[in-house]
Structure 1
Amino acid sequence: MAKSIYGEPAVVRRLERRGALASVTGSGTVAAGVMVAAALLALVIANTPLYEGVERLLALPLEVGVGPFAVSLTVEAFVNDFLMAVFFLLVGIELKYETTVGQLRRPRQAILPMLAAVGGVTAPALIYLAVNAGQPTASGWAVPIATDIAFALGVVSLLGDRISPEAKVFFQTLAIADDILAIVVIALFYGQVPDLAWCAASLVAALCLVALNRARVYSVAPYVAVGVVLWACMFNSGIHATLAGVILAFALPSRSDVRLPELSDWLSRQAHDLDDAYDDEHHVLGQHDFTEGAWRVERVMHHVTPPLQRMERYVSVFVNFLVLPLFAFVNAELHLVGENFGAILTNPAALGTYLGAVVGKPVGIILVTVLLVRLGFARLPRGMDWGQVVAVGILGGVGFTMSILISGLAFADPADAIAAKCAILLGSVTSALLGYAFVRLAVRERGGGHGRKSRPHGANRPGQGVS
């Protein structure tokens, strides 16, 4: 057996602990569970005497930025506008990954789930508008359109081999397309009246990001600095500032700064030089040639990873275990003491949101998929049957992050926003239970668990990633 380069047992144990921790923090199911716990905690606190103290905390003023690019906002707005821009950065990284090496780079494979996503956005919006026709709450038509892939895949993970790897890839591609559509909807319909001067400044900042990419700048720091300026410009422009995260993600280089075909030979030469430079007789601190060579190898290996992937590693745990739980806590804080539950449940915003998610999502996804396959325009992926199509449609109604974000933008009346958020939570639970029950009862278990694996969603979003 080859001797490990980690000679000290303490070092080995420390690395093993880090690996175990990474396997937990990289799990989308664990991340979704943390966000659910934060939302439940918010619901409990909102209906106790602690509610007023939390509200005062969320209303405290903050200032983000420097000089002319500084903006004043509350703690609540900081979470919803600034921290959620980091979430959108992770969403953008996932989108760029998929368009570069994932499902979205193969139009023939991606077209069916992408068009199914269009159906899954259109049908809930139409149902919502039908319920809210002529009402001021009609502005919330986009609330039920989003699928929360982290929660939905969390349910899927409980179903084992009853859901094939191909169905999971189909579902993930559908959710990515869903994210793209939700981002476009937020940009077009839920911004403020644009300020042309700040819009021009935002364009200049975005062009600076493009220039950094074209100049082959592979350090992440300059992109982050310009990205913060872009966020401040967009915040003042009236365009929803969280979209700055998506723009930053697409500006990050997806290639390595190292000639990878030559890396192996170079490392062999460096290993030989390090072996010659190392002296067992002396303390490592006194071996400057050796440590300098090791540092050079370390720097080169750091640049092997593309900036896009580096940024993903920097922010994924932060987003999944801090940003999204904070967002859930701040926005699921529904003060229901003394509220008329009958009025909430019959509120047109609540009815439209609930029916849009629970009925509209599966109808739109399944109907478009059936039509495209029956017309011969597309084929179901090998290993995916119609039972799994129905399951994907039902689980598409699990929405949280984007839906709550849009509900905060869509309604002028707080009572309508509360009703919509209640419907989002109830609709997500209903869709998850219906999807789980349908798969357990109607989809047979698949043997072996073999097949193509999709990219682990929680490890890269993730989200994924929560959306």
Structure 2
Amino acid sequence: MSSVSRPGAIFDEPAVVRRLERRSALAAVTGSSTVAAAVMVAAALLALVVANTPLYEGVEHVLGLPLIVGVGRLEVSLTVEQFVNDFLMAVFFLLVGIELKYETTVGQLRRPRQAALPMLAAVGGVCMPALIYLVLNLGGEARGWAVPIATDIAFALGVVSLLGDRISPATKVFFQTLAIADDILAIVVIALFYGQVPQLGWCLASLALVGVLAALNRARVYSVAPYVAVGLVLWACMFNSGIHATLAGVILAFALPSRSDVRLSELGGWLERRAHDLDDTYDDEHHVLGQHDFTEGAWRTERVMHHVTPPLQRMERYVSVFVNFLVLPLFAFVNAELHLVGENFGALLASPVAHGVYLGAVVGKPLGIIGVTWLLVRLGFARLPRGMNWPQVVTVGIMGGVGFTMSILITGLAFSSPEDAIAAKCAILLGSVSSALLGILFARLALRAGERPERPSRRRRGRPRN
């Protein structure tokens, strides 16, 4: 291998090379959905421990501290807990929106026919849990019907990754598309059913800011900063409007340009010319600080290369690690606190809310996902992706019951009674663990490592061969 092709070959200092290698290793860890899910689980477990120790009152005091953010009349007053649940989760929704826009631009959702089967399966996986919850809570706390509808992408894909090659790549794509469609439905449900009484003035201001974001996109503004500035003001207006403020993150994501303002077809030739220019201006006998033409040319090249990456992708790089390793663990810690000291466990176990949430996730999700998939294939509307068989469909259905982030968020919006909220959170945690364990157990019993489903060959026309 030539020195040019070796990583770090252009650097003088070995320490720089080692630092780059460490960063590469760290990026591999922070880019793993399994690690991110494990960190969130650890935060939830820590919250459970802290909630049942003398530290509980101190943590509750900190979460209730007031925060006031704003300039002039645009002022937002909220607690530390609301800051986590409304502002930081808006950043999480920004990442969700980026994923949605990516999928609708170049991913599975850009081919409606190919995406139809998992998306309709997601609809079944939303309707059946809601129906089970409502049946078990007739005449009771019906507002929590949406708690068991959501699949947690990070958790579920992290659990699926533990199955290795028992799950085919086609099945993983199917599951990811289903989970993304599930997120879209959860966002719509939150927007329609869990907002407050709308404040017309703030709603109009929010609408005007959405128009500003659209104008920035149409004007082909490729710098991220203006979008972020408008997005922050949009969040404040939506927080005061009665619409759930986390939706500002999704709106901001869809406003970010998904194209580059550099002609990629001409980039190679331009870089080659710049490389020749840099060679002509470089003087080996001068210190780098004295080579103004060289450093100026390198800076201009750096600016152009920065613009190669679309703003949507740049934003994803800025926020993904922050969301996965700070926002979501912090959200889990704040919202998974179950103060069970002195609670009546008999009442918790007998709660219709707990029954509805648990059975909705563990039973309703598989029934909805598997049932709709089977029905559509049976009717000839769609067929399973190549490389996917029915045992893998069942595994996906069971894993669909792994829900946490959206379910906990909806719990906080749905229940005014602390007893119902505690019952729902207990059911969410137990339901997620049950779905993960049942999915792993079924996959290990029904699926063999490296197994690929066989497809019947097409019948040839003409006379059969003897």
TM-score using structure 2 length: 0.95
Per-residue CA distance 1:304-349 (angstroms, 9 max, x = gap): 0000000000000000000000000000011000101111111111
Counterpart Cα distance in 2 of 1:382 and 1:404: 35
The percent of aligned pairs where both chains have the same amino acid is 84
* Equivalent residue, structure 2, for 1:260: 264
- Of residues 6, 13, 16, the one that matches 2:18 is 13
* Equivalent residue, structure 2, for 1:51: 56
Counterpart Cα distance in 1 of 2:163 and 2:341: 37
Residue 154 of structure 1: how far off its partner (Å): 1.1
SS at match of 1:223: helix
Matched ranges for 1:406-417 at <5 A: 406-417=410-421
Kindly indicate whether residue 96 of structure 2 is the aligned counterpart of residue 91 of structure 1: yes
Matched ranges for 1:4-403 at <5 A: 4-135=9-140, 137-403=141-407
Letter paired with 1:243: L
SS at match of 2:67: strand
Counterpart Cα distance in 2 of 1:66 and 1:132: 45
Residue 64 of structure 1: how far off its partner (Å): 2.4
Counterpart Cα distance in 2 of 1:178 and 1:67: 39
Per-residue CA distance 1:365-395 (angstroms, 9 max, x = gap): 0000000000000000000000000000000
Counterpart Cα distance in 2 of 1:306 and 1:165: 27
Letter paired with 1:75: V
Return 5+ residue gaps in structure 1 as ranges.
Answer: 449-467
Letter paired with 1:388: Q
Per-residue CA distance 1:411-456 (angstroms, 9 max, x = gap): 11111001000000000000000000000001122159xxxxxxxx
Letter paired with 2:68: E
SS at match of 1:63: strand
Bigger RCO (CA 8 Å, 6+ sep): 1
Letter paired with 2:105: T
Residue 63 of structure 1: how far off its partner (Å): 1.7
- Aligned residue pairs total 448
Counterpart Cα distance in 1 of 2:225 and 2:296: 24
Per-residue CA distance 1:209-245 (angstroms, 9 max, x = gap): 0000000000000000000010001000000000000
Counterpart Cα distance in 2 of 1:345 and 1:93: 39
Counterpart Cα distance in 2 of 1:206 and 1:347: 42
Counterpart Cα distance in 1 of 2:72 and 2:316: 29
Per-residue CA distance 1:170-223 (angstroms, 9 max, x = gap): 000000000000000000000001011100000001100000000000000000
Counterpart Cα distance in 2 of 1:306 and 1:67: 34
SS at match of 1:20: helix
- Answer with 1 or 2: which has the greater Rg: 2
* Equivalent residue, structure 1, for 2:458: none
Give the CA RMSD over aligned residues.
1.0
Per-residue CA distance 1:26-84 (angstroms, 9 max, x = gap): 11110110000000000000000000000000000112232222201000000000000
Letter paired with 1:240: H
Worse-matched range after superposition: 336-345 or 95-104: 336-345
Per-residue CA distance 1:116-158 (angstroms, 9 max, x = gap): 00000000000000000111x1100000000011111111111
Counterpart Cα distance in 1 of 2:110 and 2:220: 23
Letter paired with 2:57: E
Letter paired with 1:283: H
Counterpart Cα distance in 1 of 2:298 and 2:73: 43
Letter paired with 1:182: A
* Equivalent residue, structure 1, for 2:457: none
Per-residue CA distance 1:259-286 (angstroms, 9 max, x = gap): 1111111111100000111111010011
Residue 165 of structure 1: how far off its partner (Å): 0.3
Letter paired with 2:312: L
* Equivalent residue, structure 2, for 1:460: none
Kindly indicate whether residue 19 of structure 2 is the aligned counterpart of residue 2 of structure 1: no
Counterpart Cα distance in 1 of 2:27 and 2:262: 26
- Taking structure 1 as reference, are residues 370 and 91 closer, same or farther at Cα in structure 2, changes over 3 Å only? same
Counterpart Cα distance in 1 of 2:31 and 2:368: 32
Letter paired with 1:387: P
- In the TM superposition, structure 1's runs of 4+ consecutive aligned residues that sit over 4 Å from their partners are none
Counterpart Cα distance in 1 of 2:263 and 2:214: 22
SS at match of 2:73: helix
